Amino acid sequence: MARYLLKRVLGALVVLLVLSAVVYLIFYALPGNPAQLVCGPKTCQADQLHRIEVGLGLDQPIWLQYWHFLVGIVAGRTYSGGPEVIHCAAPCLGYSYQTGEPVTGLLLDRLPVSLSLIVGGFVIWVTVGVALGVLSALRRGRAVDRIATGLTLAGNSTPVFLVGLLLLIVFCVYLRWLPFPGYQALTVNPLLWAQNLILPWVALSVVSAAVYTRLTRTSMLETLSEDHIRTFRAYGLPERRVIGRHALRGALTPLITIGTIDLATSLTGTTLTESLFGLPGLGQLLVSSVRNIDLPVVVGVTLLAGAVIVVANAAADVLYSVADRRVALA
């Protein structure tokens, strides 16, 4: 088991390294003047450009730049070349000349918003999705199944921003039950925090629960037709127990992998929701930094997202092998 963990961790690190290299290279090796891009959409003055060039080491070969970048993640980095020296503490994911902030700081600022959105939403959409899926499987072909099927189909076919828009129209304009959402930190006022996040959560859930419903239903139906379910029925176990103890376990285990990775991809997949509801999360940060072509921030956000996915993949594998002993480990 420990050996398997080690192997997975090493593998994840390798992928992360490759990912970071690819990301860095793509963005900094593009045609055009990276210094100008980093500086911003407005035309910059020569000394400003010079400062950026020296600070980022843009005159050096690209692999050396990349190397400094990597070192910076582990040990912090100093940007020289201007009137003052900028210190960027570890883990340094870059420095945004446009906003004058270290990238890591920007990311940490936005993180709680995105996390609130995702974790809250995740709990809702997984619970609803799985419950509907189990119900559909158990009442196959009946009303519940058809309704769930229809809802799932509709949910899958609608982009999240459309659902969000419709929710806004219904709840904020016509019914006026809720004010237009902003963002209130959890620590400041939990009630307001939740109230502002309800619509985004519901929007996300409508779209995301669908996948779980479909998967759970299929998984449940498959498990119910397996031999060991027949064995326990043949030994007189009440149906309640057969399903609750034996069928559910088998049906839900495959969802672990999906769930873990879903959670990870959601971190940045909520860009659309954030954009629609004006929530200052990581996704919004990315969009605005893309608009302004703030390269260091773009690189930072992309790397963070990639890292989360890689880690989640490895975690999913490990979790799954714990849940299902049959999976051969190393």
Partner 1 sequence: MTTEALAADEIGPPAPVPASTGARAVWRKLRRERAAMVGLAVVVLLILVAVAAPLLTAIEGQDYTTYHDTLLNSARGGVPTGDLGGIGGAHWLGVEPQTGRDLFARVVYGARVSLAVAISATVLQLLIGLAVGLTAGLAGRIADGVLSRFTDLILAFPSLIFSIALLGIVPQSFPRPVLLVLVLALFGWAGTARIARGQALTLKTRDYVAAARLAGGGGFRLARREILPGLAAPVITYAALMVPGNIIAEAGLSFLGVGINPPTPSWGQMLSAATTWFGGDPMYVFVPGVLLFVTVLSFTLLGDGLRNALDPRSTNLSRRAE
Partner 2 sequence: MSTGKTSAAVGTESTVDTPVVSVADLSIEFPGVRAVDGLSFELAPGAALGIVGESGSGKSATALALLGLHHGTGARVSGRITVAGTEVTAATPEQVRRLRGATAAMVFQDPMSALDPYFSVGSQIAEVYRLHTGATKQAARSRAIEVLDHVGIPDAARRAGDFPHQFSGGQRQRALIAMALACEPRLLIADEPTTALDVTVQAQILDLLHQLRAETGMALLLVTHDLGVIAGTVDDVLVMQHGRSVERGPVGRVLAAPEHPYTRDLLAAVPRIDAPRQLSLADRPTTPDPLVRLVDVRQDFPAGHGLLPGRRRTVAAVDGVTLDVRRGETLGVVGESGSGKTTLARMMVRLLRPTGGRVEFDGTDIGQLPDRRLAPYRRDLQMVFQDPISALNPRRTVGESVADPLRAAGIRDERRIRDTVRDWLSRVGLDPDRYDAYPHEFSGGQRQRIGIARALVRSPRLVVCDEPVSALDVSTQAQVIELLAELRAELDLTLVFVAHDLAVVRQVSDRVAVMHHGRLVELADAETVYTDPQQTYTRELIAAVPVLDPALAAERRAERAALRAAG
DSSP 91: S
| Dihedral Cα 7, 13, 14, 15, nearest 10 deg | 110
CA dist., res. 253 & res. 84, Å (int): 55
HSE, side-chain direction, 13 A CA sphere, residue 73: 17
User: Cβ-count burial of 274 within 10 angstroms (0-12 exposed, 13-18 middle, 19+ buried)?
Assistant: buried
Contact 297, 281 (CB under 8 A): no
Q: Which does 149 bind (CB under 5 to 8 A by kind): partner 1, partner 2, none?
A: partner 1
326 binds partner 2 (CB under 8 A): yes
Q: Which does 64 bind (CB under 5 to 8 A by kind): partner 2, partner 1, none?
A: none
Q: Which does 59 bind (CB under 5 to 8 A by kind): partner 1, partner 2, none?
A: none
Q: x/- site string to partner 2, residues 216 to 245, per CB under 8 A?
A: ----------xxx-xxxxxxxxx-------
Q: Which does 238 bind (CB under 5 to 8 A by kind): partner 2, partner 1, none?
A: partner 2
Amino acid, single-letter form, for residue 184: Q
Helix 282-291 vs helix 248-269: angle between axes, to the nearest 10 degrees? 40
HSE, side-chain direction, 13 A CA sphere, residue 319: 16
CB nearer partner 2, residue 47 or residue 239: 239
Given candidates 82, 105, 250, 280, which one binds partner 2 under the rule CB under 8 A?
250
CB nearer partner 1, residue 176 or residue 325: 176
Measured from the CB of residue 244, what is the shortest distance to partner 1 in angstroms? 21
Q: Which does 6 bind (CB under 5 to 8 A by kind): partner 2, partner 1, none?
A: partner 2
Residues near partner 1 (CB under 8 A): 15, 18-19, 26-27, 30-32, 37, 140-142, 145-146, 149, 152-154, 156-162, 165-166, 168-169, 172-173, 214, 217-218, 221-222, 265, 268-269, 271-272, 275-276, 286-287, 290-291, 293, 295, 298, 301-302, 305-306, 308-310, 313
User: Cβ-count burial of 198 within 10 angstroms (0-12 exposed, 13-18 middle, 19+ buried)?
Assistant: middle
DSSP 21: H
Measured from the CB of residue 165, what is the shortest distance to partner 1 in angstroms? 5
CA dist., res. 199 & res. 283, Å (int): 18
- Which stretches of the chain bind partner 2, using CB under 8 A? 3, 6-7, 226-228, 230-238, 246, 249-250, 253, 323-326, 328, 330
